[in-house]
Amino acid sequence: MGEKNSTLEKICDAFPFLRDAGKDVREDVTAHAQIARIPKGTFIFFEGDECKQLALVLSGSVRVYKPAESGREITLYRLGKGDSCVLTASCIFSRNPFPAIAYVEDDIEVAAVPSNVFRDWVNRFEVWRNYVFNLLSKRLSEVIATVEEVAFRRVDVRIAEFLLRLPRTNNDEIRMTHQDIAMELGTSREVVSRILKHFEDEKLIILSRGTITILNMGILTSKSEG
């Protein structure tokens, strides 16, 4: 019983609207959600032909990206705490193939719910319906923002922006290869190397194998706005 409560507590932490939800909603969650861990490197959604479980993400990170034949790829969005793969589920449900790939880049903890149970929740509870709508509109906004990025913005600006919102060590170091950045932004490794080299020439960063050290935040920031 104590364990059950801590499970619900964990889920409420990622899905705060459940705190204000009715007792029936919360009891259903307790009754059907199974906490599970999925290790880094796992590709989700494509295991079986159908997905019988829907994953509500409690922690960790899932990268959803689109690959090209050429080998290039681009990140569309990420799933984190409070997200879930309803979108994939809805694609699969409506028999459209989901047009992207998702994989776990940071071990995730999920509350797994059988698809038919989740469907039932959406049928019965408005809070779940609202959740799903909000999530879907958020996703669409993100992907539209990606369209704008690739169609209209310069790559140097996008790289500067990207570097600035990346986690850094206390020495302002970023551990990431040029290839990784290219795959994030949908460009090619050579282009990233070239532009980073320019940044280094301008004393904005220092490059070494596998790490980028940020020297001059200010100018880099102004670049990311230009």
Asked if 202 is part of the footprint of DNA (rule: CB under 7 A), the reply reads no
Site for DNA in 55-84 (CB under 7 A): 70, 72
**Least distance from DNA to the Cβ atom of residue 218, Å:** 20
Site string for DNA, 2-41 (x = CB under 7 A): ----------------------------------------
Asked if 203 is part of the footprint of DNA (rule: CB under 7 A), the reply reads no
**Least distance from a copy of itself to the Cβ atom of residue 58, Å:** 22
> Pick from a copy of itself, DNA, none: which does 91 bind, CB < 5 to 8 A by kind?
a copy of itself
Site string for DNA, 205-224 (x = CB under 7 A): --xxxx--------------
Per-residue DSSP letters for the chain? -HHHHHHHHHHHHH-GGGTTS-HHHHHHHHHH-EEEEE-TTPEES-SSSS--EEEEEEEEEEEEEEE-TTS-EEEEEEE-TT-B-HHHHHHHHTTPPP-SEEEEEEEEEEEEEEHHHHHHHHHH-HHHHHHHHHHHHHHHHHHHHHHHHHHHS-HHHHHHHHHHTS---TTSEEE--HHHHHHHHTS-HHHHHHHHHHHHHTTSEEEETTEEEE--HHHHHHHHH-
**Which two three-digit tokens encode residue 37?**
């861990």
Return the number of the residue (109 or 200) whose C-beta is nearest DNA: 200
> Interacting stretch for DNA, rule CB under 7 A, among 13-21, 92-100, 131-139, 179-187?
179-187
Asked if 138 is part of the footprint of DNA (rule: CB under 7 A), the reply reads no
Characterise 210 by phi-psi region: left (phi > 0), alpha (psi -120 to 50), beta (else): left
> Pick from a copy of itself, DNA, none: which does 154 bind, CB < 5 to 8 A by kind?
DNA
> Pick from DNA, a copy of itself, none: which does 36 bind, CB < 5 to 8 A by kind?
none
> Pick from DNA, a copy of itself, none: which does 191 bind, CB < 5 to 8 A by kind?
DNA
**Residue ranges in contact with DNA by CB under 7 A:** 70, 72, 154-156, 177-179, 186-191, 193-197, 207-210
